[in-house]
Amino acid sequence: MRIAATFRFSIARGDAVRDCETRHLEHGVRESSSMNADRRPDRPQAMRSGISVTVLMLAGIALGACQSGPAGEITTIDTAQGSHQNIASLTAVISRNPQDPEAYNVRGSAYGRGGKYRDALKDFDRAIELKPNFYQAYANRALIQRFLGDQAAALADYNRAIQLNPNYDAAYIGRGNLYRKAGRVNDAFNDFQKAIQLDTTDARAYHNRGLIYQSKGQHAFAIEDFSTSISMSPDAPEPYNGRGLSYLAMNDEDNAFADFNTAIKLDGKVAESWANQALIYERRGDKVKAAKAYQQAVRLDPNYQPAVEGLARTKAP
SS3 of 98, please?
Answer: coil
Confidence bin at 83 (pLDDT 50/70/90): confident
How many helices (H) and strands (E) the chain has is answered by 15, 0
**Mean pLDDT of the region 6-32:** 39
pTM, 2 dp: 0.78
Question: Which of these, 100, 104, 68, 99, lies nearest to 87 by C-alpha position?
Answer: 104
User: What is each CA distance from 191 to 72, 141, 168, 187, 206, in whole angstroms?
Assistant: 16, 18, 11, 6, 11
Q: Is the pLDDT of residue 253 over 60?
A: yes
Residue 78's pLDDT is 64
Q: How does pLDDT run across 163-216, given as a tens digit for each residue?
A: 999 999 999 999 999 999 999 999 999 999 999 999 999 999 999 999 999 999
Residue 81's pLDDT is 75
Cα 2 to Cα 211: distance, rounded to the nearest angstrom = 11
Residue 48's pLDDT is 40
Q: Domains (ranges, CATH) in the chain?
A: 1-219 (1.25.40.10)
